[in-house]
Amino acid sequence: MGLLTLTSKGLSWFLKGHPWVFRDDLEKIQDAQAGGIVSLERRNGQFLAQGFYSDRSKIAFRLISRNREPIDRAFWKGRIQRAAQFRQLAVEKTNAYRVVYGESDGVPSLIVDRYGEHWVMQTLSQGADRATGLFADLLAELFQPSSIILRNDLAVRDLEGLPQEKKMILGDSPEWVEVFEGDIRYRVDPWSGQKTGAYLDQRENRLRAGRLLRGKVLDAFCYQGLFALHAARSAAQVTAVDSSLEALEQAKENARLNDLSNIEFLRENVFDFLKGEVERGNRYDGINLDPPAFAKSRGNVDAAVRGYKELNQRAIRLLNPGGILVTSSCSYNLSESRFLDLLRDCARDAKADLWIMEKRGQSADHPVLLTFPESSYLKCLFLQKAPFPPS
Ligand code: SAH
């Protein structure tokens, strides 16, 4: 088995509990194979942990276990069962959710999402990639899915020197899968939809928004229209905007599936649309803003902040008194405090009093591991514009 020795700086980092070790924090690398399981040791040879080794990524080691136990089929079966049990507790009102969320579930860089009987896997590092066959076998044995797609068409795999690819690894997946979320049904295309087919991380926020949004509602960056569908059950009229033609086609199909005829779908750039609505003097009682990650790296946080500010400022202007803004950021690199800061600026510039109704995050099937800050990325705030003139 390969062996990694930590530097003293690496040791103090690792003892804090973080599940990754960077290459710079290693003093010695012996017999470690790309994607193999290695031991991590102190300089004096004392065992610390076992994990996956990567010979390409800056993240050289990903923690699997702090014990000297065999990392075999039975071990991984236990980890996957533990993940599934957690979902039984944490997930309700849906048959579409994340079953395994990588490091948070102790299965580094493995993602497993289920859409009813159709499952999707992603392996995002050399170690998980090497174990793909074993993981797929275990999913088949434990859950008997009708199909499993391997959706490894992700750019992060480049950092590991792994190819981007997509393939069926079990059964046959239909062109689309119908699933449910609370009282709505929707169609997913796990083969070519965004992410693994849907933004499962927003599920609980959508259900909550559906209970709160009333009157005239805007769903900006609507993708498959899921916020819009939930809102449309109680709201008078919903406008759903996205720039992607395929997304809007799916969203329209989803509206038909739910017999909802009070949603208008528009293909537009949301930045232009919001500007136009302010100019036209239109107003809304509820707005959902769920843009893609603007801060993809630490380097472009400032530009991202400008983008989020522009959107939120306009959305706040567009709200009627008493109206609700549901605003999200899925950029890991934008911290919650920075997001709150920029929203504060928007409120000031729009001369509006806004209350935080709820501070939310990603759904519980994407559990945040306390010792792994990278597992927490989605921020979602429910804000209400004061229903009387501002102070
Ligand atoms: N709210 C959705 C997820 C939104 S993902 C849900 O809960 O399922 C972000 C969406 O923004 C994508 O569908 C993408 O097509 C769209 N998008 C990205 N940039 C855009 C822009 N400038 N204007 C309009 N839509 C955009």
The pLDDT tens digits for 10-65 are: 999 999 999 999 999 999 999 999 999 999 999 999 999 999 999 999 999 999 99
User: Would you say the CB of residue 270 lies under 6 angstroms from ligand 1?
Assistant: yes
Q: Dig out the tokens for 209 from the structure.
A: 């928004």
Percent of the chain with pLDDT over 70: 99
Q: Dig out the tokens for 225 from the structure.
A: 């229209």
Q: Dig out the tokens for 2 from the structure.
A: 């390969």
Nearest to 124 by CA among 173, 69, 196, 66: 196
Q: Which letter does DSSP use for residue 94 in this model?
A: B
Catalytic residue flag (residue 346):
no
Compute, in degrees rounded to 10, the torsion defined by CA atoms 336, 340, 342, 343: 130
Q: Is the pLDDT of residue 272 over 80?
A: yes
The pLDDT tens digits for 237-267 are: 999 999 999 999 999 999 999 999 999 999 9
User: Would you say the CB of residue 25 lies under 6 angstroms from ligand 1?
Assistant: no
The pLDDT tens digits for 276-301 are: 999 999 999 999 999 999 988 888 99
Q: What is the pLDDT of residue 298?
A: 85
Nearest to 291 by CA among 321, 275, 315: 315
Which atom of ligand 1 lies closest to the CA of 292? 9
Average pLDDT over residues 340-366: 97
Q: Is the pLDDT of residue 115 over 90?
A: yes
Cα dihedral sign, 251-256-259-263: positive
Q: Is the pLDDT of residue 389 over 80?
A: no
Q: Which residue's C-alpha comes closest to atom 1 of ligand 1? A: 222
Q: Is the pLDDT of residue 388 over 90?
A: no
Q: What is the pLDDT of residue 296?
A: 84
User: Would you say the CB of residue 65 lies under 6 angstroms from ligand 1?
Assistant: no
Average pLDDT over residues 161-186: 97
Q: What is the pLDDT of residue 390?
A: 61
**Are the C-beta atoms of residues 41 and 48 closer than 8 Å to each other?**
yes
Q: How many helices (H) and strands (E) does the chain have?
A: 10, 20
Q: Which letter does DSSP use for residue 348 in this model?
A: H
The pLDDT tens digits for 90-108 are: 999 999 999 999 999 999 9
Average pLDDT over residues 168-193: 96
Distance 304 CA to ligand 1 centre (A): 15
Identify which of 213, 226, 242 to mutate to test ligand 1's pocket (most ligand atoms within 8 A of the CB). 242
Q: What is the pLDDT of residue 295?
A: 83
Average pLDDT over residues 169-187: 96
Average pLDDT over residues 117-122: 98
Average pLDDT over residues 298-322: 95
Q: Dig out the tokens for 61 from the structure.
A: 């080691």
Tell if the pTM clears 0.85, that is, is over it: yes
pLDDT band at 387 (very low <50, low <70, confident <90, very high): confident
Q: What is the pLDDT of residue 19?
A: 98
User: Would you say the CB of residue 267 lies under 6 angstroms from ligand 1?
Assistant: no
pLDDT band at 391 (very low <50, low <70, confident <90, very high): low
